[in-house]
Each structure stands twice: as C-alpha cells, then as structure tokens.
Amino acid sequence: MSILKVARIAHPVLRSPAKPVPKEAFRDRLFQKLIDDMRETMYEYEGVGLAAPQVHEGLRLAVIEVPGKDERAEAEVPFFVLVNPVVTPLGEERENGWEGCLSIPDLRGVVPRLKRLKLDALDREGKPYSLEASDFFARVVQHECDHLDGHVYVDRMNDMRSLTFIKEFEDHVHADEE
C-alpha cells in the first residue's frame, strides 16, 4: 500500500465534477489498489474521509471511517467505500458544525449540513447498498460527496468569520466551548 499525494485547493482536479466509476472497474486490480491506498492515506493524515479527487483521481469514489474516539462523533463508523454515491435528504433540518479538509490544510470552519440523509452507493465489489446517516456521520458523507461535484466545505459556509487555523481553534474556540 502507498500513501498518496493529497491535492490542495487551486488544483483543478478538486474543482472538476468526477466521473462515474464504470462497471468494469471493480475487477481492475488498480482500482482495488486505489481504494487501499486511499484508506492508508486517510489514516496517515488522520482524516475521517477521503474522496478520489483529493488524490488526483477524477472518479466518483470516496472512503469514510470515523473512529469511536473521535470526539465529534456520536458513534463509530467502520471503514466503508462509497462508489457512485447518491445523497437524498431526509427532512429539511440543517445543523452547524466544524469541518476541516486535507485539501485545505490547517483550517476549520463552521458549515451548515443536512442533519439526516439517505445514502445509496456501491461497495468496492460493485454491490449496491443503502443506509441512513445522521449528525456527524451525515456531515462526513456530505463533505465527501461534495468533493465528487467539485465543491469544498468553504463553498458551503454561511459566515466566513468562523474560518480559523487549527492551532487558534484549540487555543480560543475549543477552549471557549468547554
């Protein structure tokens, strides 16, 4: 497995809509290796999700894993793969929460997201699945799926004044919230 280079904003791959993964890809050794490498890369940079455009691959593919120890998460989400995902809102309720992105290093900002959604996607074998996500898990799904349409979280912020460096977040914002 390899740790892949992460694209940062201003790289065009992050602003281009990604292409659907074709059926043949699931049997392709290189496609399966890409998934393993994305997993490794997500762990290396301590992300909870990674989308293929972030590693310079314009494919509708992402990986997610939320460790139980993550203080933002209500529940652990074991590693899973999203291929050609489709998000359907469940209700209109939105919630503000902090997000960061490996493609916009060292920053965080408050982003409104759907509180509940349904996700339809294929797994790494090409098998369809459907699940419901809420709260932080739903946030991560929306963040990763946004990458597949060329969006990043700062596009979704209502108030840019919440944008903060992680160090200053720990010193000032996080301290205030406790």
Q: Which is nearer to Zn ion, 82 or 101 (CB)?
A: 101
**Cβ-based neighbour number of residue 44 at 10 Å:** 12
Q: Which residue in 57, 65, 99, 144 is the catalytic one?
A: 144
Which listed range, 22-30, 62-70, 93-101, 107-115, lies at the site for Zn ion (CB under 5 A)?
Answer: 93-101
The answer to whether the CB of 95 falls within 8 A of the CB of 115 is yes
What stretch of H or E contains 39?
A: helix 29-44
Taking the least distance from each CB to Zn ion, the nearer of 101 and 122 is 101
Stretches 6-14, 95-103, 107-115, 130-138: which one binds Zn ion (CB under 5 A)? 95-103
Q: Of 7-15, 30-38, 97-105, 123-131, which part binds Zn ion (CB under 5 A)?
A: 97-105
Which of 14, 63, 82, 101 binds Zn ion (CB under 5 A)? It is: 101
User: Site for Zn ion (CB under 5 A): how many residues?
Assistant: 1
Nearest residue to Zn ion, by Cβ distance, number only:
101
Q: Is 144 a catalytic residue?
A: yes
**Of 134-173, which residues contact Zn ion (CB under 5 A)?**
none
The smaller minimum CB distance to Zn ion, of residues 101 and 117, is found at 101
CB of 103 to Zn ion, least distance (A): 5
Amino acid at 25: A
Q: How far is CA 16 from the centre of its chain?
A: 16
Residue 178 DSSP SS3: coil
CA distance readout (Å), 58 to 55, 84, 115 = 9, 12, 28
How is 65-128 classified by DSSP, letter by letter?
Answer: EE-TT-TT-SS-EEEEEEEEEEEEESSS-EEEEEEEETTEEEEEEEEEEESEEEEEEE-TTS-E
Q: Which residues belong to the active site? A: 144
Q: Which residues bind Zn ion (CB under 5 A)?
A: 101
